Amino acid sequence: MTRFPPDWLARNRDLVLAQLREHLELTLLTVLIAVAITIPLALLARRLPRLRTPLLALTGTLYTIPSLALFVLLVAVTGLSRTTALIGLVAYSLLILLRNILVALEGVPAEVRDAAVAMGHTPRQLLWRVEAPLALPVALAGVRLATVSTIGLVTVTALIGYGGLGRLFLIGFQRRNGTALLTGFALSLLLAVAADLALARLERRLTPWAEAAPARTGGAT
Amino acid sequence: MTALWRWLADPAHWSGPNGLAQRLGEHVGYAAAATAFAAVLVLPVALWIGHTGRGRLLAIQVGNLGRAIPTFGLILAAFTLFGYGLTPVYVALVALAVPPILVNTVAGIRQVDPEIVEAARGMGMTEPQVLWRVELPIALPVLMAGIRTSAVQVVATATLAAVIGLGGLGRPIVDGLAQGVTYNPAARAMVLAGALGVALLSVLTEWGLAAVERRLAATRGGATHWNITD
């Protein structure tokens, strides 16, 4: 029988805060690592167009593998550790980020690029002064999408001993405690919505000249 | 790894009430039913929104919010509400399948060239005819991409049905994890078999539906007289 103990939240405030903190840490680390991996990959795919399709296919296949299965397969290799959780989470962010960064860079008009070259920009200057700022809105839309999807995926790592707020789902489920479950659910939903809004705001702040860019989701090619 | 081969080589792990064949059937059953139900539920509404343009922003909001829902939590929450059975699984899987179908269908219909729609009206087509004969065929590839995204996500997530005591390919994963994988090679082999099976099924779903899409786009492209791309 599921119970909804009303005082559970007050008695377990430290637990809830600790899980919220773990959730934020895992999300932040995942997105930072994934961005750090994706930017060089995207630049590589720009330099060597032959690599574009294989890179997207590889990250696309990783994205397709069910999260629980991937975490479990990774546990067999790297053991029950935070590294396992992080590797799995990063793997899921790669496709979203790579696709958005590539689309963003490819969206820079050829005339703009030609004009910059004609003005004497070196390839490096072209990238950082012209292409990067123009690509920023779409690239940031990818970061936003990756962040929201990571916040949801973090909860699944509860099954391999992490999980942030996902651990509250499991506690609630195993002890038939509806308050714990709903607290975890509501907080992770709120976290995702808050991150989405905050990053949308950052996007507008950083690129006041751009219209809101549509994000490229994982599945639809 | 050798433990995995030994586990897979045992015919008892393939057939019978707990065999992989049975689990595969359950898994595909949950996923197909949930995706089909979501499509039947969403398509009429999404086509109407796309055609009239009414409620478009609401549809985008629903799509965004839907992405933020942690499906793992939703399955467990639905379980505490409805108890043991298939209902919690379908609640969570359908909720997961709705946003991509909704967003892609609306976007697909909206991006049909307005001049083509006007031309169809000018030829005397009624509004349902415009939607059915002009907008829908042009939007079909984008619409199908949405269904594919949903189907792949649902196949992947149906794994979690095992957490609330049901079947599917998540069963060997959850059972193996419960037996403790660290010191038990047989449990580890069972977990790996389930994980590999479900990973393979997801990738095959993605590839299979992508192939259907290309096929459909090719025949549709041949049958229509206008140029879809521009």
| Closest approach of A36 to chain B, Cα-based (Å) | 24
B182 contact residues in A (CB cutoff 8 A): 80
**Looking at beta carbons, which residues of chain A come within 8 Å of B203?**
61, 64-65
Kind and range of the H or E element at A110? Answer: helix A110-118
φ, ψ for residue A3 (rounded to 5)? Answer: -115, 160
pLDDT bin (cut points 50, 70, 90) of residue B225 is: very low
Instruction: Give the sign of the dihedral formed by CA A73, CA A76, CA A78, CA A82.
Output: positive
Cβ contacts below 8 Å, chain A against chain B, sum to 141
Q: How far is CA B57 from each of CA A194, B54, B90, rounded to the nearest angstrom?
A: 19, 8, 27
Residues A20 and B16: their CA atoms lie apart, in Å, by 43
How many of the other CB atoms lie within 10 Å of CB of A70? 25
DSSP class of residue A177 equals B
Q: Greater confidence, A164 or B218?
A: A164
Most confident of the following: A3-17, A194-208, B146-160, B176-190: B146-160
User: What SS3 class is residue A164?
Assistant: coil
CA A203 remoteness from chain centre: 15
Confidence of residue B20 (pLDDT cuts 50, 70, 90): confident
Partners of residue B7 in chain A, C-beta under 8 Å:
none
**Nearest alpha-carbon partner for B196 in A4, A59, A73:** A73
- ipTM score: 0.78
| Interface residue A69 vs chain B (CB under 8 A) | yes
Domains of chain B with bracketed CATH? 2-223 (1.10.3720.10)
| Residue contact B69–A152, C-beta within 8 A | yes
B217: three-class secondary structure by DSSP: helix
Residues of chain A with C-beta less than 8 angstroms from the C-beta of B209: none
Query: Which of A66, A173, A185 lies nearest to residue B157, judging by beta carbons?
Result: A66
pLDDT value for B18: 78
- Indicate yes or no: CB of A219 within 8 angstroms of CB of B153: yes
Chain A: closest CA distance from residue B122 (Å): 32
Residues in chain B: 230
All domains of chain A, ordered by start, with CATH? 24-206 (1.10.3720.10)
Q: State residue A78 phi and psi, 5-degree precision.
A: -105, 5
Asked if A181 lies within 8 A of B192 by C-beta distance, the reply is: no
Chain A, 107 to 136: residues with Cβ < 8 Å from chain B are none
pLDDT digits (tens, 9 = 90+) for B144-195: 989 998 999 999 999 999 999 899 999 998 888 888 777 788 888 888 888 8
Sequence-distant (6+) residues with CB within 8 A of B130 are B51, B117, B120, B121
Q: For residue B132, give how far its alpha carbon lies from the nearest alpha carbon of chain A (Å).
A: 23
Which of B73, B80, B153 faces A188 most closely, judged by CB atoms? B73
Residue B149 · residue B95 · CB < 8 Å = no
* Whether the model pTM is above 0.95: no
pLDDT tens digits, residue range B26-67? 999 999 999 999 999 999 999 999 999 898 888 888 887 888
- Taking alpha carbons only, the member of B143, B173, B147, B176 closest to residue B160 is B173
* Nearest Cβ partner for B149 among A70, A73, A220: A220
Does the distance separating the beta carbons of A68 and B196 come in below 8 Å? Answer: no
Report the C-alpha gap between A82 and B191 in whole angstroms: 19
Q: How close does chain A come to B69, measured CA to CA in Å?
A: 6
- B125 to chain A, closest Cα gap in Å: 31
Residue B135: its pLDDT value, please? 93
